[in-house]
Amino acid sequence: MFAISFIFFGVGTGVSGGSVGDFLRDLFGGGSTEAQSVADALEKVEDNPNDAQAVRSLAAAYQAAGQTRDAANSLEQYVELQPKDSDALRQLATLYQRLATQSDQQASALIGQGLGESLGTVAWSFPNSSGFLGALGENPIDEAVSSRFSARAGEASDQANRWLEKAVTTYDQLVEADPADTTALIQLGQAAANAGKDEEAIQAFERYLELDPTGPYAEPAKQQIADLKEQDTTVQTG
């Protein structure tokens, strides 16, 4: 119910864990033996919050430590200091997509966990009861358990959508910073489609085709435009 239907063109910002992890390591220079510890990088930022390079180094340290949300927060701070840095904007959007994936996976796990803990599946099985209480009708405890997990899954799904919204906004900034970056247009299109912003996705794909009609992503872009338009037509007539 809560799963996000991610679109992936293979541009380097897909949402499967491995590809994103590799991409982020490349972007941040991860795996370097010279990477700073979070404590050292944080101390430098605290000493000079407006030092853009120090802030970016902190983001890299957080990413190396697997603290994705903190890395995104630091990159947000860096982008405020350097709003035209295309690499940083791409990194930030990628982090948002990873966070969206994590929240989406959490939502799915909560739904599965709620089903697994459903007391109805054991028919009110108190010790030595042989499950006879199940014959009495709906189990109020079961309903409470299901409701609790559904609420938490809904919150996780909402958070995933908020991360996707942030990714779209950041790709918008990236396109604005470099209008000729056709890859950024594809990334904007797929992020917008993932966030349910079909019109914005179509516009991004169409703009890509105007700039690079025979490019490597031309055919997938055409297919996505057709699919999104068909989807919108189905919704309107459904």
Flag whether pLDDT at 93 surpasses 70.
yes
Domain range 17-122+136-237, its CATH number among 1.25.40.10, 1.10.1060.10, 3.40.50.10490, 1.20.200.10: 1.25.40.10
- Are the beta carbons of 51 and 45 closer than 8 angstroms? yes
Q: How many CB atoms lie within 10 A of CB 170?
A: 27
Give per-residue pLDDT as tens, 139-149: 554 555 567 77
Looking at residues 173-200, what average pLDDT do you find? 92
| Predicted TM-score (pTM) of this structure | 0.74
Mean pLDDT computed over every residue of the chain: 78
- pLDDT for res 92: 95
- Of the ranges 108-112, 114-118, 220-224, which is most confident? 220-224
Better-scored residue on pLDDT, 133 or 72: 72
Looking at residues 8-34, what average pLDDT do you find? 45
Q: Residue 167: name the closest of 207, 204, 131 by CA.
A: 204
- pLDDT for res 15: 36
Banded pLDDT at 17 (limits 50, 70, 90):
very low
Flag whether pLDDT at 156 surpasses 50.
yes
Banded pLDDT at 10 (limits 50, 70, 90):
low
Looking at residues 164-169, what average pLDDT do you find? 94
Domains of the chain by residue range:
17-122+136-237
- Are the beta carbons of 24 and 99 closer than 8 angstroms? no
Q: Which residues of 36-67 are buried (b: 16+ CB within 10 A; e: fewer)?
A: bebeebbebbeeeeeebebbbbbbbbbbbeee
